[in-house]
Amino acid sequence: MKKLLVTGGCGFIGSEFIRQQLAQYDDQAIVNLDCLTYAGNPENLAEVCDDPRYQFEHGDIADREHVERLFGEHQFDAVVNFAAESHVDRSLLNSGPFVRTNVCGTQVLLDVSRQAKIQRYVQVSTDEVYGSLGPTGFFTEETPLAPSSPYSASKAAADMLVHAYYHSIQFPALITRCSNNYGPYQFPEKLLPLFITNLLEDQSVPVYGTGANVRDWIHVSDHCRGINAALRLGRVGEVYNFGGRTEKTNLEITHLLLGLLEKPESLIRYVTDRPGHDLRYAIDCTKAERELGWKPEIGFDTGLTGTIDWYRRHGDWVEHVKSGEYRRYYAEQYGTRLA
């Protein structure tokens, strides 16, 4: 895999994947195609931006003309598609951008990748396509898809497109699905970075309903190691689940953070539950462990402490992101309004 097209590489997970690739493989070249929506931040890749093996391309995966031009300029060996609208609450307000990017954008990438005869295509998906679990059991790769939100429905539709391309024309694609990620550089609308940054400023934290919803947490670096293993070792046409084997209720997470940051319980603010809020996610990652030789390596306690420490030390990054200042800078640089 000498040259990769990574889409959505300025986001939380995509930027970690790019940093890992460039650190691990001396001969790896990467083109990062990113639309720079509100959660895509080139500052996440500041440490590699001057690396001659790395190239940033500002563009939209749903823009077929742009994607075709990019493929005409480069001989890509593989595509790893991180690009997605990914916040459930935003999808409940307006599902249009989710369908455009997650479904139509995936279709464009598949079509152009097929024409270019790439060797491997990896669709980075989510455990949310499986819907909600009861108090027992785990999602496996054989679990039927039952998405519960416009966001997860758009990701499930994209997964089905990828599967159809493999099944009908033997397109060399595979799909990865992962549980809740956490770690450095995560946009502070997600639970952990939102709660950490709020608590560091002695602001309240909003807990949906009673906080009983359960999530399985995996450190972003473990997730990206899994994607790399799937890219290089996975069988085309297959799905690989990645999880951290760490189930916590949202209320447990809240109390953990309050304790680690030495903040009072009075900062908990219970709010009306999200419509259609899935009760529980939990991943069985046995297949990835067996076939790819992968396993999660960062324990949750260690990972959470490190994440808190990162946000403490990167107050400027948090302020820059929350203020939108970086967006104004890049809008001027690219001469366009960033979504």
Residues marked active site are found at 127-128, 151
- Provide long-range contacts, Cβ within 8 A and 24+ apart, for 91-100: 91/149, 91/150, 91/151, 91/154, 92/149, 92/150, 92/274, 92/275, 95/150, 95/151, 95/154, 97/339, 98/150, 98/151, 98/154, 99/150, 99/154, 99/157, 100/62
305, amino acid identity: T
Torsion of CA 231, 241, 55, 101, to 10 degrees: 120
* Residue matched to tokens 């479904």: 103
Nearest C-alpha neighbor of 204 from the set 251, 266, 283, 140: 266
d(CA 51, CA 93): 39
72 three-class SS: helix
